[in-house]
């Protein structure tokens, strides 16, 4: 069994925030792959289903971002899962919008959700880092991530989430390369290899009709001797 966790803050007030892209991702996986209804479990909302041949529990901690580790730790202990079976999807300001990277282990880089996870379960889990961009100055980060995505982000955000839907079975099986390729195909579809059709040749212009000679007989005779 695999535990896929999306990080975010609970409630409609936060639903569209950049910080909630992890929630958005697991919601789309659940919908696209026919998971069961969301139920209150492990101080969060959980939904069970299958991705490929892998049994999966999706989890959205409801303890707020800064205390996400409490919910995740409870789920891991109850399910008796090692950290190798935990995959966490979260926002990443150090990646450009629409960029995605998979990472195993390492530091939390100041992300409060990951900081809480490190404190409660350790750092040896897998992370799907979902790029949301950086506001430009560290002091602006809290207001930036706790704010809705801009309307201009709607296109790439939907493509990114569709790519995660497509690649979810590979993600659950630990095939990171296939997962990332599925996402990339949504964000940058391949160009057609078929040559462009040649333009139809333009029809030749119709020949002009001969003009009628309106000269008088005397003008014609005079023109012959010029």
pLDDT confidence of residue 189: 80
Burial bucket for residue 167 (CB in 10 Å: 0-12, 13-18, 19+): buried
Give the residue numbers annotated as catalytic, written as ranges.
Answer: 19
pLDDT confidence of residue 150: 95
Whole-number CA gyration radius for the chain: 31
What's the fold here for domain 2-187?
Answer: Rossmann fold (3.40.50)
Q: Are strands 54-61 and 2-6 parallel, antiparallel or unpaired?
A: parallel
Residue carrying the six token digits 């939904």: 47
State the 10-residue block means of pLDDT for the chain, 226 residues long: 98 97 98 98 98 96 97 98 98 96 94 96 97 94 96 96 98 97 92 64 64 66 62
């Amino acid at each position: 069994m695999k535990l896929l966790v999306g990080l975010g803050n609970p409630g409609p007030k936060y639903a569209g925030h950049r910080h909630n892209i992890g929630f958005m991702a697991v919601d789309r996986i659940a919908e696209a792959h026919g998971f069961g209804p969301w139920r209150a479990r492990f101080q969060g909302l959980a939904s069970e289903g299958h991705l490929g041949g892998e049994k999966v529990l999706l989890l959205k901690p409801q303890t707020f971002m800064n205390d996400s580790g409490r919910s995740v730790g409870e789920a891991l202990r109850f399910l008796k899962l090692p950290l190798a079976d935990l995959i966490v999807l979260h926002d990443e300001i150090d990646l450009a919008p629409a960029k995605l990277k998979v990472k195993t282990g390492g530091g939390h880089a100041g992300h409060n959700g990951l900081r809480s996870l490190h404190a409660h379960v350790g750092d040896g889990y897998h992370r799907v880092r979902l790029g949301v961009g950086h506001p430009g100055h560290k002091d602006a980060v809290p207001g930036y991530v706790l704010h809705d995505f801009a309307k201009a982000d709607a296109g790439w955000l939907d493509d990114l989430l569709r790519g995660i839907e497509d690649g979810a079975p590979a993600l659950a099986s630990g095939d990171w390369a296939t997962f990332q390729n599925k996402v990339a195909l949504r964000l940058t579809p391949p160009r057609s290899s078929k040559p462009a059709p040649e333009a139809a040749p333009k029809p030749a212009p119709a020949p002009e009709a001969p003009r009628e000679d309106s000269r008088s007989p005397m003008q014609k005779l005079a023109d012959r001797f010029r």
